[in-house]
Structure 1
Amino acid sequence: MLVATPYSNDEICQHFGHAPQFKLFTVEDGKVVESVVIDTVGSGHNALAAFLADHNVDIVICGGIGQGAIVSLAMAGIDIVPGVAGSPDKAVKELLEGTLVAGAVSGCGCGGHHHEEGEGTCGCGGHHDDTCDISGKEGKGGCGCGCH
């Protein structure tokens, strides 16, 4: 099994779509046998979901993640454990022990504040004008995050 965490400054990056790196953990027989940090090759939920699928990731442990990223990962067959902060190593250890607690999905990962033009955390840049209906709430973004 391969577990990934969005990674920045030795912590789980809280903005999935803007993660500069991912830390990948190879798990065999319930134990981590290898971990490696790799640079991403883009940003935004579609690019990162494809990137993780290309690396055969099975599970993503993450912090803030938007609806568009959730859908993209699901379409790639990747499970998620959202709302996790802190050490990636500790999170994976807890996952394997069955004690990792997922937090609430925080929408777009913006921490409750709104972004100006070009600053959307979902990877769309916050510039789309079309309106989308995600989980019954009206939003702009065209990316499925509903936060713009």
Structure 2
Amino acid sequence: MKVAMPIAGDRLCAHFGHCQQFYFFDFDENTREVLKKDTLIAPPHEPGLLPRLLKEKGVNLVIAGGMGMRAQELFAQNGIKVVTGAGAENDPVDIIKEYFNGTLKTGANLCDH
């Protein structure tokens, strides 16, 4: 499973489209361990670019604080599941583990456009 997270300052970024970079994690669902982590500097904001780019990178899941509905629709069209409302208080690896353990607490989607 490949998981992408928008990052600012080594923490989950509250707004998907305004992050500094993306972390990509190869996660083994059986062992609940991160096998590999890659980083990508965020490209300039362009509607529709990130869903295509993340699909090309083999991403299956995006965990974000907030993401607009149109972006969520584009990810769905590209076969990528989106989870919004995740908080930035935990380490990104811990957030992923919480998601797969069924213990990730999510709040409101922080983006309303």
Q: Which residue pairs with 1:15 in the alignment?
A: 15
Instruction: List aligned pairs for 1:76-91, cutoff 5 A.
Output: 76-86=78-88, 87-91=91-95
Q: TM-score, normalised by structure 2?
A: 0.86
**How many angstroms apart in 2 are the aligned matches of 1:68 and 1:35?**
27
User: Which is further off, 99-108 or 89-98?
Assistant: 99-108
Number of aligned residue pairs: give it: 109
Give a deviation string over 1:75-105, Cα, whole Å, max 9, x none.
Answer: 1111011011223122112112221123222
User: Given that residues 83 and 103 in structure 1 are in contact (C-alpha distance below 8 angstroms), is that contact kept between their aligned partners in structure 2?
Assistant: yes
User: Given that residues 34 and 93 in structure 2 are in contact (C-alpha distance below 8 angstroms), is that contact kept between their aligned partners in structure 1?
Assistant: no
Q: Which has the higher helix share?
A: 2
**How many angstroms apart in 2 are the aligned matches of 1:41 and 1:106?**
21
**How many angstroms apart in 2 are the aligned matches of 1:40 and 1:78?**
18
- Quote how far apart the aligned CAs of 1:31 are: 1.9
User: Given that residues 31 and 96 in structure 1 are in contact (C-alpha distance below 8 angstroms), is that contact kept between their aligned partners in structure 2?
Assistant: no
- The answer to whether the aligner puts 1:100 opposite 2:101 as a matched pair is no
- Quote how far apart the aligned CAs of 1:41 are: 2.6
User: Given that residues 41 and 51 in structure 1 are in contact (C-alpha distance below 8 angstroms), is that contact kept between their aligned partners in structure 2?
Assistant: no
- Quote how far apart the aligned CAs of 1:47 are: 1.2
- Quote how far apart the aligned CAs of 1:45 are: 4.5
**How many angstroms apart in 2 are the aligned matches of 1:80 and 1:6?**
12
Structure 2 residue identity aligned to 1:36: D
SS at the partner of 1:69? Answer: helix
* Percent identity over paired residues: 33
Specify whether residues 18 and 11 from structure 1 end up closer, same or farther in structure 2 by C-alpha distance, changes over 3 A only. Answer: same
- Quote how far apart the aligned CAs of 1:40 are: 2.4
Instruction: List aligned pairs for 1:56-135, cutoff 5 A.
Output: 56-86=58-88, 87-108=91-112
Computing the radius of gyration from Cα coordinates, the structure with the larger value is 1
User: Given that residues 17 and 44 in structure 1 are in contact (C-alpha distance below 8 angstroms), is that contact kept between their aligned partners in structure 2?
Assistant: no
SS at the partner of 1:106? Answer: coil
- Structure with higher RCO (Cα < 8 A, 6+ apart): 2
SS at the partner of 1:100? Answer: coil
